[in-house]
Chain A
Amino acid sequence: MNPALRRGLTGLGVFVAVLEVFPRTDVVGRGYLPPFSSIVSALGRQVGEPAFWSALLDTLRGWSAGLGIAAVAGLVLGVAIGVVPPLRSLTASTIEFLRPIPSVALIPLAVLLYGTGMRSTVLLIVYASFWQVLVQVLDGVRDVDPVAAETARSYRFGLRTRIRTVVWPTALPYVLTGLRLAATVALVLAITGELVIGSPGLGRQIALAQSAGAVETMYALVVVAGLLGVAVNLSIRAVERRTLRWHVSVRREAAA
């Protein structure tokens, strides 16, 4: 086993041991932090319940719907604004202004419009992750090599050919970065929406466990949320490496 992996596992082991020992020795009260083993057994009970799986499925459904809408809208608008320079300078200030508006400020509005259903949460997800994609796509389109752009112009490439052969390959790494950021943000907002608004999903299960005083179940669900986050991160990174196999940054990484 290589030393890096061994040390990582040791670190994880120490973390788990602390979570097990502290509550058992009453350094932290059990009502606040249950021992790790009882969190795991609570997780085991959850896995046996259909309610847990339908909540997980709801979260994933809201996440993917919101992310999908945001990605398509961000891509289309980003490329459209990016390839027309006057449009870019006209919209720059508006984008800079709208982006830092905290998406959660829209929660009251979403509840008013859509009640506590899944659509409220999807609205939040779309708003938050749209900007991540849009800004990266705009950066990517701007990064096009001037020589390549001029060459395409000399050869009188049409707009579609230009986008497909010049703009798209340059922008693709940026697009994937945008998608990675958006995927993380979308997960945060999905769970937040469920937690605060009460639309169905893992977040609502956590809120329910909290109000029922089921501390162990609550911790188990938080662990699930964390694992979901890790899974999203890893899978997007895998997609990134696959799609950008040809790109210098990935090739260099593989060679190193």
Chain B
Amino acid sequence: MRLLRSTLTAAALPVALVTAWWLISRGSQSFFWPPLSDIVAELRPTWLGERLRADVVPSLLRLATGYALALAAGILAGLAIGLSARLRQYCEPVLEFCRSIPPPVLIPIIMLFAGIGDQMKVIVIVSGCVWPVLLNTAEGARAIDEVLRDTARVYRLRPAARFRHLLLRGASPHIVTGARQALSIAIILMVISEMFAASNGLGFATVQFQRSFAIPQMWSGILLLGVIGVTLALAFKLVENRVLAWYFGLRRHQ
């Protein structure tokens, strides 16, 4: 009963909003605001046919590659910087500056080096996402419990075990925070890099529709990007609950 009630409260407003959009836009003659039914009808033929292979999959692959590389680089560098106070002091001003550059302005620079192909987009995503991961990981490595550290030393954990069970585990709550911020930056950069200079991809196709005034198709692109954003956020939450199950449990008991 309680579950039913909470589901109903959660679903009520979204359903009401979508219904309102559907009803208000029904029979809309406005060029810019086509009926929602048209947009939804456009979703399937526009994105699931030829464009699935040509635009959607390449975009998602670039996103995944860039995000994975940024995670790996950010975690490794972050651990190194977090563990050595001296290294941290050397790097701090430079990192502070690099982090403050709005990532999209790197697109023209990276285009100089890497052209406008897949490589450019992956580098753009990496160079934007790496900072939140790196800084949060460094913070997490600093916050690892002294007692745990000493225990690991007393038990003479091998470097590999120390890395996995002490450092990675200990810093993981912070790493996850950084990874969450990085994910939304990654999606933004994926879209922006394709809008700025590309020959395929979701962002490119959506802007192309807008330029050729294919309005329902453009709306379907916006809708698809929204759905991708929401799905990835949900997937992240699932992974987070799994990876940090020990941490949430620990906090509940405190």
Which residues from chain A sit less than 8 Å from chain B, CB to CB? 3-4, 7-12, 14-15, 31-32, 89-94, 97, 99-109, 111-113, 187-188, 191-192, 195-196, 203, 206-207, 209-210, 215, 218-219, 221-222, 225-230, 232-233
The residues of A that contact B102 with a CB separation of less than 8 Å are: 187-188, 191-192, 225, 229
Q: Are B92 and A8 in contact (CB under 8 A)?
A: yes
Q: Are B229 and A222 interface neighbours, CB within 8 A?
A: no
Query: Inside 8 A of A103's CB, which chain B residues have their CB?
Result: 188
Please measure, in the bound complex, the distance between the C-alpha atom of A232 and the C-alpha atom of B222, giving whole angstroms. 30
* A110 to chain B: closest residue by CB: B210
Interface residue stretch chosen among B12-20, B135-143, B167-175: B12-20
Let me know if B147 is at the binding interface, CB within 8 A: no
Q: Is the CB of B218 within 8 A of A108?
A: yes
Other than the given A32-B113, A112-B218, 13 more pairs (CB < 8 A) read A8-B92, A12-B94, A14-B90, A93-B9, A101-B229, A101-B230, A102-B184, A192-B192, A195-B107, A196-B104, A196-B192, A219-B109, A229-B99
Q: Determine how close the nearest CB of chain A comes to the CB of B181; give it in whole angstroms.
A: 9
Residues of A within 8 A of B188 (CB): 102-104, 192
A225 and B195 contact, CB distance less than 8 A: no
**Residue among A15, A108, A191, A218 making CB contact with B210, cutoff 8 Å:** A108
B232 partner residues in chain A, CB cutoff 8 A: 100
B101 at interface by CB-CB < 8 Å: yes
Contact between chains at A94 and B108 (CB < 8 Å): no
Residues from 204 to 254 in B contacting A, C-beta threshold 8 Å = 206-207, 209-210, 215, 218-219, 221-222, 225-226, 229-230, 232-233
Collect the chain A residues with CB atoms within 8 Å of residue B92's CB. Answer: 8, 11
Q: A8 contacts which of B89, B192, B215, B221 (Cβ < 8 Å)?
A: B89
Contact, CB under 8 Å: A104 / B112? no
Q: Are A105 and B13 in contact (CB under 8 A)?
A: no
List 26 A-B residue pairs with CB atoms under 8 Å apart, sorted by A's residue number: A9-B93, A12-B93, A89-B10, A90-B9, A94-B14, A97-B230, A100-B229, A100-B230, A104-B191, A104-B203, A105-B226, A105-B229, A108-B209, A108-B222, A111-B210, A112-B210, A192-B192, A195-B107, A196-B195, A203-B105, A226-B100, A226-B101, A228-B100, A229-B100, A230-B97, A232-B100
Of listed B93, B105, B219, residue having the most chain A CB within 10 A: B105
Closest B residue to A107 by beta carbon equals B195
Identify whether the interface residues of B are mostly helix, strand, loop, or mixed.
helix
B interface residues (Cβ-Cβ under 8 A, vs A): 6, 9-14, 17, 32, 86, 89-94, 96-109, 111-113, 184, 187-188, 191-192, 195-196, 203, 206-207, 209-210, 215, 218-219, 221-222, 225-226, 229-230, 232-233
Are A101 and B105 touching (Cβ within 8 A)? no
When A11-B92, A108-B210 are in contact, do A93 and B11 touch as well, CB less than 8 Å?
Answer: yes
Cβ contact within 8 Å between A97 and B14: yes
> How many Å from the CB of B215 to the closest CB on chain A?
8
A94 and B222 contacting across the interface, CB-CB below 8 Å: no
Q: How far is the CA of A222 from the CA of B188 in the complex (A)?
A: 19
CA distance A141 to B105 in the complex (A): 36
A14 — which chain B residues lie within 8 A by C-beta?
Answer: 90
List of 4 A-B pairs having minimum Cβ-Cβ separation, nearest first: A229-B100, A108-B210, A105-B225, A100-B233
* Contact, CB under 8 Å: A7 / B105: no
Residue in A closest to B85 when the chains form the complex, CB atoms: A4
Instruction: For the complex, give the distance between the alpha carbons of A215 and B113 in Å.
Output: 12
Q: In the bound complex, do residue B104 and residue A91 qualify as a contact, i.e. CB atoms below 8 Å apart?
A: no
C-alpha gap A101/B225 in the complex (Å): 7
Contact A233 B100 (CB under 8 A): yes
Tell me whether A93 and B13 are in contact (CB under 8 A): yes
Cα distance, A253 to B144, chains bound together (Å): 20
Q: Which of B93, B108, B196, B229 touches A102 (beta carbons < 8 Å)? A: B229
| Docked-complex contact B89 and A109, CB < 8 angstroms | no
Closest residue on chain B to residue A5 by CB atoms:
B89
Give the residue of A4, A31, A215, A225 whose beta carbon is less than 8 angstroms from that of B101. A225
Contact of A207 among B11, B94, B108, B112 (CB under 8 A): B108
